[in-house]
Amino acid sequence: MGSPLTVGIIGVGKISEQYFASLPQLPGLKLVAVADIDAARTKQVADEQDVRALTVDELLADDSIDSVINLTIPAAHVEVGMKALAAGKHVFAEKPLGLDPEEALPMLDLAAEKGLRVGSAPDTVLGTGIQTARQVLDAGLIGDPVAAQVHWSAPGHERWHPSPLFYYQPGGGPLFDMAPYYLTSLVTLFGPITRVSGLATRSTRERHVWTGPLEGTPIPVDIDTHVSALIEHASGVTTTLTVSFEVWATRSPLFEVYGTKGTLAVPDPNRFSDAVEVSTIDEPEFHEVPVSAGYEDAGRGYGLADMARAIETDRPHRASGQLAYHVLEAMDAILRSSAEKRIVDLESTVDRPEPVPFEATPDSW
């Protein structure tokens, strides 16, 4: 292993806490600075993490910083990413990659032009949960996969997030905030998506912030809050997907894959390491399978660590900008399908990412 990739984080809101918890475990990365439009918050977090507090412009101009983790709101992902690339820095961003494919594509083009890397969440798919599920599929334990079914729902993020208004603006909602976990997992399991058919709607429910200093603040809703889609993969597998901010309770949240010899219960892709279960012709009762792949005890930031190792070993990184772009196009196509009442073919494709061996960290092999 060579010198660690130096890291600056832009945006120190709620999600940054999970990155700060993981980064000390990753010898291939070294956090050196943080920045945010809230100067007081920047100083507080910098002191807590024992790193430098900078303005956004100062961080981007600092030649000692190799890479930027972009944790700004979705509407700023591309703007900040483009500035970081222009400053010669690799970029790893929270999802979604951008608000739409047209906005995001120039960022990938600029990275290619400058010989830099772009990565994107969710990197949860690199943990033992999704990677073990993939290994089960690849080993043929449930035969040939035929179809998958995904359902995720909640009443809305305003019940727990202290500043949730952006979740109800373009780039948010159940589709752009939660579906990336499932769509990225589906591409990891079955390969690229070829076409989609979608339906999207929203209720008339009035929403407000439930907790924190903004408690009681009304939330304008400018996105669809209940989205369903039929998805076809190039491999022939089809998926039924539903994501919703309209469900107060459900008995059946699920992510299941149906094969010719059994059923695979895929763990929550918003987490890294939940158990994988299968039911087969020979063993019809659902039972856990041993962990067999993925980064052990992983957390947010492992995607950037995998990217740093890929830079060092000159291989493609797994949580790539190309994968995130393909997922972004799929989400955009689902909304266009709903609005235009037609099936939409995707223009992009992406290689199925390489599997992750069962490893402690990206730096251990």
Mean pLDDT, the chain, whole residue set: 96
Burial 126-145 (b: 16+ CB within 10 A, else e): bbbbbbbbbbbbeeebbeeb
Instruction: Compute φ and ψ for 263, nearest 5 degrees.
Output: -125, 135
Question: Looking at the domain assignment, is residue 294 inside a domain?
Answer: no
Question: In this predicted structure, what is the pLDDT of residue 1?
Answer: 57
Q: Are 148 and 267 in a shared domain?
A: yes
Pair 137, 236 in one domain: yes
pLDDT at 340 over 90: yes
Tell me the pLDDT tens digit for each residue of 1-40: 578 999 999 999 989 999 999 999 999 999 999 999 999 9
Tens of pLDDT, residues 246-263: 999 998 779 999 999 999
Q: CA-CA distances (angstroms) from residue 249 to 154, 155, 156, 206, 253?
A: 7, 8, 11, 18, 9
The reply to whether 309 and 201 lie within a common domain is: no
Looking at the fold, whether 190 and 203 belong to one and the same domain comes out as yes
pLDDT band at 360 (very low <50, low <70, confident <90, very high): confident
Domain co-membership, 59 together with 140? no
Q: What is the pLDDT of residues 127-143, one digit of tens each?
A: 999 999 999 999 999 99
How confident is the model at residue 253, as a pLDDT? 74
The answer to whether residues 242 and 134 belong to one domain is yes
Of the pLDDT bands very low, low, confident and very high (cuts 50, 70, 90), residue 144 is very high
Predicted confidence (pLDDT) per residue in 103-124, tens digit: 999 999 999 999 999 999 999 9
Tell me, what's the pLDDT at 271? 94
Q: How many whole angstroms from its chain centre is CA 40?
A: 28
pLDDT band at 361 (very low <50, low <70, confident <90, very high): confident
- Domain for residue 337, yes or no? no
Q: Are residues 118 and 131 in the same domain?
A: no
CB count in 10 Å sphere of residue 212: 12
Domain identity same for 115 and 131: no
Taking 60 as the threshold, does the pLDDT of residue 365 lie above it?
Answer: no
Q: Based on the fold, state whether residues 281 and 314 are members of the same structural domain.
A: no
* Averaged pLDDT, 151-168: 94
- Count of C-beta atoms within a 10 Å radius of residue 170: 13
Residue 91 has pLDDT above 80, yes or no: yes
Q: Contact at 8 Å (CB) between 176 and 103?
A: no
The answer to whether 195 touches 343, Cβ cutoff 8 Å, is: yes
Backbone angles phi, psi at 9, to 5 degrees: -105, 130
Gap between the Cα atoms of 297 and 313, Å rounded:
23
- Condensed to tens digits (0 to 9), the pLDDT of residues 48-60 reads 999 999 999 999 9
What integer pLDDT is reported at residue 3 of this predicted model?
87
pLDDT-derived band at 363 (thresholds 50, 70, 90) equals confident
Short-list 198, 179, 269, 189, CA closest to 235? 189
CATH number at residue 194: 3.30.360.10
Do residues 100 and 194 share a domain?
Answer: no
113 and 139 both lie in a single domain: no
**Does residue 258 belong to any structural domain of this protein?**
yes
Number of domains in the chain: 2
| Residue 314: domain span | 5-123+299-319
Whether 329 is covered by a domain: the verdict is: no
Percentage of the residues of the chain whose pLDDT score is greater than 70? 99
